[in-house]
Amino acid sequence: MRIYLPGTWPMLQRLVKTGHFDPIGGTAFALTPRLRETYLSGDDEELEYVAMSEAARASLRLLGVEFGLGEDGVPARRVVVSADVDDVTLRPDLDAGAVRISGSVPLEAVASVHVDTAEAEHAVRQAAGAVDAADLGDMDAEFLIGEAEDHELAWYGPSEIAFLVELG
């Protein structure tokens, strides 16, 4: 199953260093039956994009935690790692596309990485600080999330990840 793992720049650096991506709490997103039922229309590609977008929003939550811990040197870029894994558990208690995996994802299972460009950093930093308020219905905070989500994530193949991290 193709899954989308939310991450941060330090998590991407660890992937390059160790050859494994360690998702926080095993949380990932995928085109689940529940996600498919949520939408009246849309082909698999469109619904996969929805799952990836949910992972990108989860990446904002992870960034919000890192910034809250004083990690101001962390690049304000959403990171989503796309991978193909077999051991996936549906999470009906969370978002429609939420799944859980057990353990690390080896680099060999990574299909691609999606990362914000430098131009998105200001909007992403603002959104990371507002994501909790947006989840609680604050419309001003939701506007900030939308500003970040207006930036498309850049696509990188597995062979490009080390160069991406090196160039920062």
Q: pLDDT by residue (tens digit) across 26-44?
A: 999 999 989 888 887 788 8
CA 127/CA 142 separation, integer angstroms: 8
CA 5/CA 43 separation, integer angstroms: 21
- 164 pLDDT band (50/70/90 cuts)? very high
CA 85/CA 99 separation, integer angstroms: 12
Domain ranges of the chain: 2-116+154-160
- At residue 112, does pLDDT exceed 60? yes
Q: What is the DSSP letter of 86?
A: S
Copy the structure tokens of residue 21. Answer: 């991506």
* Helix-helix angle 139-149:44-68, to 10 degrees: 110
- At residue 168, does pLDDT exceed 80? no
CA 18/CA 138 separation, integer angstroms: 39
The CA radius of gyration of the chain, in Å to the nearest whole number, is 15
- 12 pLDDT band (50/70/90 cuts)? very high
Q: What's the predicted TM-score (pTM) here?
A: 0.93
- At residue 83, does pLDDT exceed 70? yes
**DSSP element (H, E) containing 111:** strand 110-115
